[in-house]
Structure 1
Amino acid sequence: MSSALSALPAVLALTGLAACSPGGSRARVEPPPAPPAKVAGLCAALHEELPETVAGLARTGTEPESELTAAWGGSAIVLRCGIPKPRAMADPKQEGVHVNGVAWLLEELDDGGFRFTTGMRKAYTEVVVDKGHATDAGMLVGLSTAVAATVPEGISSY
C-alpha cells in the first residue's frame, strides 16, 4: 500500500472533525420565504434565545446568514422559523409530542431522520434532525424552552 493511501483514513478523519468543530463549518440552510413582519420579529427573538448546544452539538453558522435559520453540528440539526403552515398539520392522524409546554408535530423522513414542527404558536418553527441524532429524546428540551419564551401561543396567520 502506498504511503498516500495509508494516510487517507487519517486525512478523512481530520476532515470530518474539522467539519464538526464549533465555528469550523457553516451549514447550508435555505431560509423560508419571507414571512410577514410580525412573524419575522418573533423569529428574530427566537434566534437570540436559541441554545448554543443541542444534543451535545455546538451551534454552527448558517449560509446564507439569516435570523430565520439556525444549525447545530453542521447540518445534523437544522431549524427554520417562519415557515408556512405545513400540510401535515391538517392530518388528524399525525403524531405529536409536547415538550416544555410546546406542541411539536412529528414526521419521520425517508432518510430515517425526523422533522418536528411547532403547532399552536404565532410562528411555525421546523427542526430537521438527521438519522444519527434522531434518537436523542432530550434534543427538543432547549429548543422548546426558547420557543416558549419568544413565540406566543396562538394560531399563526402565515
Structure 2
Amino acid sequence: MQMSPPETDGTTTEVCSEFVDELPDTLMEEERAEIRPESEIMAAWGDPPISLRCGVPRPDGLQPDSLLEEVNGVPWLPQPEDDPTMFTAVGHEAYVELQVPSGHGAPAAAMTTVSDLISEHVPELPEGTL
C-alpha cells in the first residue's frame, strides 16, 4: 500500500515510532499490510486499507468550537462532518490520522484500540489545548 509519510521533527518521530510499534497486527479483523515507503510512523490494515499516520499537521478544520468525538478520553476530529471516513486524534503532542473506508463499517472498534494506545504512548497537550 502506497502512503505519504508526514514530515515530523525528531521528538514527534520518536513519540510516533514508539506508538506505531505498539499497534496491533490485526485491526477490525484485518491483517496488517505492508506500506510503501516503509515508515516507522505509519501503519495499514486490510484492503481497502484502514490507514494510520502519526505526526500529521494540525487539521485545517480544527477550531476551538469544532465538534469532536471522544473515545476513551481521546478527542477525535471527524472529517467530513456529514459522513466521516477520516478521524484525527487531537489534544496530544502528535496528531494521529486514522482513515477507515466505509466498507469496513463503523470505525468505533478501530478508534477504541487506537485511542487506548494514544493515551499510553502519546503525551497529552496542556488542558484546553487542541
How many residue pairs match? The answer is 126
Runs of 4+ residues over 3 Å off in structure 1: none
What is the distance in 2 between the residues matched to 1:32 and 1:56?
26
Question: Out of 55, 63, 76, which is 1:104 matched to?
Answer: 76
Q: Which has the higher strand share?
A: 1
Q: Say which SS state the counterpart of residue 38 (structure 1) adopts.
A: helix
What does 1:1-158 align with in structure 2 at a 5 Å threshold? 27-33=1-7, 35-90=8-63, 92=65, 94-108=66-80, 114-154=85-125
TM-score by length of 2: 0.87
Provide the aligned C-alpha RMSD in A.
Answer: 1.9
Q: Deviations over 1:14-37 (max 9, x none)?
A: xxxxxxxxxxxxx1111012x111
Question: How many Å apart are 1:76 and its aligned residue?
Answer: 2.3
Percent identity (aligned): 34
Q: Deviations over 1:98-150 (max 9, x none)?
A: 1122111111389x651110111000110111121242422211111111111
Q: Which has the higher helix share?
A: 1
Q: Say which SS state the counterpart of residue 138 (structure 1) adopts.
A: helix
The structure number with the bigger radius of gyration is 1
Q: Which sections of structure 1, spanning at least 5 residues, go unmatched? A: 1-26
Q: Say which SS state the counterpart of residue 34 (structure 2) adopts.
A: strand
Question: How many Å apart are 1:95 and its aligned residue?
Answer: 2.6
